[in-house]
Amino acid sequence: MIFVNELIKAFCKRTTIAIFAVLLLLNGVLLYINETKQTLEYTPEQYKVAYQTLEGLDTHAAFEQISQKKTALNKILDLFVSKN
């Protein structure tokens, strides 16, 4: 019973509540920044589409499909780089 009372006393202090509120707000801000920044990284929607195209395939078939797309992409990149 003493342990529970000490936990209640520790977590009901204004400073503890304020720290948790600031951390929660900071977490939300960082999550928003990471989801909306424009970089070369993939968006969650792009991941969903990729998983939907591979869903139902066995491992070997999925690997072959990804390998073919990677080869095609590398050829396109080679053409682009060689022109510049």
Task: Indicate if the pLDDT at residue 67 is higher than 60.
Answer: yes
Mean pLDDT of the chain: 88
**Percentage with pLDDT > 70 across the chain:** 94
pLDDT tens-digit map of 25-53: 999 999 988 877 766 677 788 889 988 98
Q: What is the pLDDT of residue 40?
A: 64
**Percentage with pLDDT > 90 across the chain:** 49
Q: Is the pTM of this model over 0.85?
A: no
Is 54 within 8 Å of 65 (Cβ atoms)?
Answer: yes
The H or E element containing residue 10 is helix 2-11
Task: Indicate if the pLDDT at residue 84 is higher than 60.
Answer: no
The H or E element containing residue 82 is helix 59-83
Task: Give the separation between CA 41 and CA 35, rounded to whole angstroms.
Answer: 10
